[in-house]
A and B are shown apart, each in its own frame.
Chain A
């Protein structure tokens, strides 16, 4: 399975009778066609005339959109293959309509050296059904002290920089990283949490945590970090992105920063608009995640932030955890939700709930992250890589743990009724998932 480099003898592919959705151009056309030749989009719209020998796929009027670009996914390999491999993550991504996985550097070894990026990319090409583009570490060993070789890492293929679920706590380190990265216009992605306020915490701070006797992470830990970071971005001219924003106040801080023209963007994880802290219930470790599930007010603020455009990107924040990491007392359990296959149906809840238009939603899952990372994906434009997702917008179904293709099944969404399902996923013209065959 190639990454945008299919075999030259792959026959052309035509999608017909589709509802074409291109968030990059605002195209939303019923009954359209799209032609793929040599792994790229060769034509799109009404005037597509497939040549002889073209494989025709009748979309049955369903939605054909750019494949999802998941800007935050922990893939386990190298170092945590018991939880996930590039191969198993690729299967889950394909089933979830995700055609580009943005891997996180929190591997063993940590992605903080150019040679490791090259190695990881090669492994991904050999074993993963979808595209993998890596984020590299901001600091060596994710220790938050010394900058990595960002220039050389970017040359090796790193598309952005983050310390994963570790915040860059030291303001001087963050300042210099933001500043240094401007030499190549690189994006610095922060896990926005002031660690001195969240150390040892297990869930959101508040009444639920207090009742359960769990140490809480205050919403203010996120607010303080976002407020600080946008000031540093303003000072340095750097490009800043808060990976998973989860609180109303931090969203407000981001809104103000954007209004001032600061180069700051943010993402939100699907579980932060789909669930609130009550999901922890009686110590359900599948609801343990970082940043934690927040109050209902904060959850509603995430929805509002997505609707008004303050939140640019929706991510799965896919964090596979094996049973040994979750079947533990709540404070000792690892945080994380396996989210690749639930990303699209959870996101579509916002459309069905009339919070956001379908095109606006798709933009946050495709072209917005692609543009932030400088990727050619996320559009149906002619010449773009033929990374596509065909999905039924309305079909009702229940999420089931058993249906997850990830090596780890840590989902709090088991049994949740949702609407909208992936029918087919295509990467560079190759079908990597077909619901009919699954």
Chain B
């Protein structure tokens, strides 16, 4: 279970009270702002020659990816290494997971090796939270099914805040496969908590049930949905969903829901364009927009990803097993 919190120092009040980061749900605006502020310091650190600090010196971070990923796993790996941790990558391929071991057995086995942080991605919603109950270290959700991807929402928030100077009051459109997207769910929660207004734009077959009760305005007409938006977040649409089951074809999807300059005209003139990657050029986003550095923040999102993950690890460090205040950094 969670270790008792060390007495907070008066000068730095405790701002992140949880052992784990399982989702945006349950976080307060203050806690999110704390993580975003902390991320900024790491943005600066990552732009120096020496990108390292020692907050996690001697600690072991395990990247446990049941679902393949390059971008997120690499980002966590860099974040862990820059903070001085030993980083181990485990993927479903070539591990006991493939041999039929249950998730809980895997968790118990790993736990016995005394890792300090587990970064977990899993294809089933709720799997990361289940695993976190069986281990005594910190757990970071790197994406569970269609549920949450909290570090993506945090890195998107940092990116928005750096470009727009704020989040509160902005009008943000999230476009694409809302139904299956954990990125959309985490972003909807974070943006609502931070005071932005959120629209979701998708064909009706890609809008989850009860969406209007999730604090979003639902649009099926992309031009109307983009009208007046400050931020346009595009989501990836997986190809198996574009062959008639959810969407009839790639060409119909791009015609009505692909972001091109003509549709982007309906957003504010300075609207920024985001995408969590990997992009399907010509499916959900026109290739020129993706490469337009005046509009697209896609590369910046990747940069913020490392900083945000360092900030999260930093914030969790005070509750890691056997933490001694002032030791190691």
Contact = CB atoms under 8 A, between A and B. Distances in A.
Contact of A183 (B221, B244, B249, B251): B221
B248 A148 contact: yes
A212 interface: no
A182 B252 contact: no
A176 B244 CA distance: 10
B248 to A, nearest CB: 4
Contacts, number: 44
Interface string B150-183: 0000000000000000000000000000000000
Nearest to B249: A149
B42 to A, nearest CB: 42
B248 A183 contact: no
Interface string B242-258: 01111111011001100
Contact of B256 (A145, A146, A151, A179): A151
Contact of A139 (B205, B220, B244, B251): B244
Interface residues of A, number: 16
A263 to B, nearest CB: 14
A149 B246 contact: no
- Interface range for B: 10 to 19
B203 interface: yes
A146 B205 CA distance: 13
A149 B203 CA distance: 12
A147 interface: yes
Q: Chain B's interface: helix, strand, loop or mixed, by majority? A: loop
Nearest to B209: A235
Interface in A216-239: 236
A65 B246 CA distance: 43
A183 B220 contact: yes
Given A149-B251, A149-B252, A151-B252, A140 B244 contact: yes
- Chain A contact residues: over half helix, strand or loop, or mixed? helix
B144 to A, nearest CB: 25
Given A147-B244, A148-B248, A149-B249, A183 B203 contact: yes
Contact of A150 (B220, B245, B248): B248
B282 interface: no
B93 to A, nearest CB: 32
Interface string A171-191: 000001001101100000000
B221 A176 contact: no
A152 interface: yes
B204 interface: yes
B205 to A, nearest CB: 5
Contacts of B255: 151-152
B246 A183 contact: no
Nearest to A145: B244
Contacts of A139: 244
**Lowest 8 CB-CB distances: which A-B pairs, in order?**
A146-B244, A183-B220, A149-B252, A179-B204, A149-B248, A147-B248, A180-B205, A182-B204
Interface of B: 203-205, 220-221, 243-249, 251-252, 255-256
21 contacts: A140-B248, A145-B244, A146-B244, A146-B248, A147-B245, A148-B248, A149-B249, A149-B251, A151-B252, A152-B251, A152-B252, A152-B255, A176-B205, A179-B204, A180-B203, A180-B205, A182-B204, A183-B204, A183-B220, A183-B221, A236-B204
